[in-house]
Amino acid sequence: MKPLQQPSSRPLRLAAALLICASCLAPTVSSAQDAAKALGGLFKSLSLPGKPASNNSGGDKTLEVLQTLAKPVEQIDEPREIEIGRQLASVLLGAKPLYADEKVQRYVNQLGRWISLQSARPNLPWTFAVIDDAGYNAFAAPGGYIFITKGLLERVPDEAELAGVLAHEITHVVAKHHLQALRKAAESGKLTSALGQVAATQIKGDLANALIGQGVALARNLYSKGLDRDDEFDADRAGVVLAARAGFDPYGLVSVVQGLRTASASDQLFALNVATHPPAQQRLDQLEQSMGRRLDDLSGQPGVTVEQRLQLIMVGAKRNQAKPTQ
């Protein structure tokens, strides 16, 4: 494989790249409000597992989600998948808040939405956000919830690199890797058998709290231990293709993984990432086998840095504000 900066004889899909720029300047799909407020409103509405509302509606919802895991993954319909993702997202946001920068939230959300539209599941209610955490991490949850940390955003200066990370996480969602991992963990821990024997609405008191606690532990273990190695390799392989389909240099993700070769488990900023992913060199070897030289023609054109894109967004926003109303 070649490095991200090596020139190529064929340009990137400039039309797609221009669409990215246009979409970054547009309001979010789900709301006319700014993206940060829209995201904040969404996630504040999530019920935190283990902390049901006073009327127990939050607890009942969590138990219903857990009971869904008693079914085989292929029998979990999309609305249930999305609800599972909401519950997992609430676990993540129960630990760290959203990063309080409107333009950054808007940019990452729009960039992620554009890439997700090129995936095999474009109609999911995709939501992307930045968590206010200095660590170098990215997380996905079923149904289209994807988070990156502020620490990761600060360490991937090239937009193609950020696109590669988001494409990797999108692939996890498309392939239902987290659903499969949750189902496997719940089954091995006998949680599915307990939930399968009784309807969620009939679970009361200490039993309900115990099952909710098991569900929260299940979610935390998933993000602390990570997915199977094969799932990570699959997300790398499909991620470079998805990033290229969206108009980005496919070697962006390769560059990110190359940078992780020097990451140490003793460095707290990288400890979780190192613990939850295969060694960087193994990931690079797998990518080299799958990519070969087949994507080289889509690589090598001058890129845009994340900082440059954010500046363009600010300029575009000021221009829109200056336009006279009709």
Quickly state the pLDDT bin for 24 (edges 50, 70, 90): very low
What is the distance between the alpha carbons of residues 215 and 195, in angstroms, rounded to a whole number?
11
What is the distance between the alpha carbons of residues 43 and 160, in angstroms, rounded to a whole number?
28
Both tokens assigned to 126:
């995709």
Report which of 139, 28, 145, 31 is spatially closest to residue 84, judged by C-alpha positions. 145
**246, 163 in Cβ contact below 8 A?**
yes
What average pLDDT score do residues 15-34 get?
A: 39
Q: What angle do CA 226, 236, 255 make, to 5 degrees?
A: 110
**Residue 158: strand pairing partners:** 305
Q: Which residue has the higher pLDDT, 173 or 310?
A: 173
In three-state secondary structure terms, 305 is strand
Q: Strands, E, within 118-201: which ranges?
A: 127-131, 138-141, 145-149
pLDDT digits (tens, 9 = 90+) for 98-134: 999 988 999 999 999 999 999 999 999 999 999 999 9
| Residues 113/117/122/127 CA torsion (nearest 10 deg) | -10
Average pLDDT score over the chain: 77
Task: Pick from 39-48, 192-201, 237-246 the range whose average pLDDT is largest.
Answer: 237-246
What average pLDDT score do residues 319-323 get?
A: 71
Q: What angle do CA 63, 216, 219 make, to 5 degrees?
A: 110
Q: What is the model's pLDDT at position 242? A: 96
Q: What is the model's pLDDT at position 7? A: 32
pLDDT digits (tens, 9 = 90+) for 209-222: 665 666 667 777 78
Please state, for a pLDDT cut of 70, what percent of the chain lies above it: 66
Residue 252 confidence (pLDDT) above 80: yes
Sheet holding 145-149, edge to edge: 127-131, 145-149, 138-141
What average pLDDT score do residues 57-73 get?
A: 67
